[in-house]
Amino acid sequence: MIRILPDETDIYALTDSKFARGRSVEEQARALLGAGVKILQYREKHAKAGVMLEECRLLARLCREAGACFIVNDHIDIALLVDADGVHIGQDDLPIAEVRRLVGPGKIIGLSTHSPEQCEAAVRDGADYIGVGPIFATQTKEDVCAPVGFDYLEWVAKNCSIPFVAIGGIKEHNIGEVVKRGCTCCALVSELVGADDIASKVASVREAMKKS
Is residue 112 annotated as part of the catalytic site, yes or no?
A: yes
Q: What distance in Å separates the CA atoms of residue 28 and residue 14, rounded to the nearest whole number?
A: 9
Q: Report DSSP state, residue 3.
A: -
Task: List helix spans (H) across 76-115.
Answer: 76-81, 96-103
Is residue 124 annotated as part of the catalytic site, yes or no?
A: no
Collapsing DSSP states into helix, strand and coil, what is residue 73?
Answer: strand
Catalytic annotation, pick one of 38, 43, 107, 201:
43
Catalytic annotation, pick one of 17, 38, 107, 141:
141
Catalytic annotation, pick one of 38, 112, 181, 190:
112
Is residue 43 annotated as part of the catalytic site, yes or no?
A: yes
Q: What distance in Å separates the CA atoms of residue 151 and residue 52, rounded to the nearest whole number?
A: 36
Q: What distance in Å separates the CA atoms of residue 64 and residue 133, rounded to the nearest whole number?
A: 28
| Residues β-bridged to residue 188 | 13
Q: What angle do CA 124, 125, 126 make, to 5 degrees?
A: 95
Given a contact cutoff of 8 angstroms between Cβ atoms, the answer to whether 6 and 129 are in contact is: yes
Residue 204 corresponds to which amino acid?
A: S
The DSSP line for 23-45 is --HHHHHHHHHHTT--EEEE--T
Q: What distance in Å separates the CA atoms of residue 56 and residue 25, rounded to the nearest whole number?
A: 9
* Residues with catalytic roles: 43, 112, 141
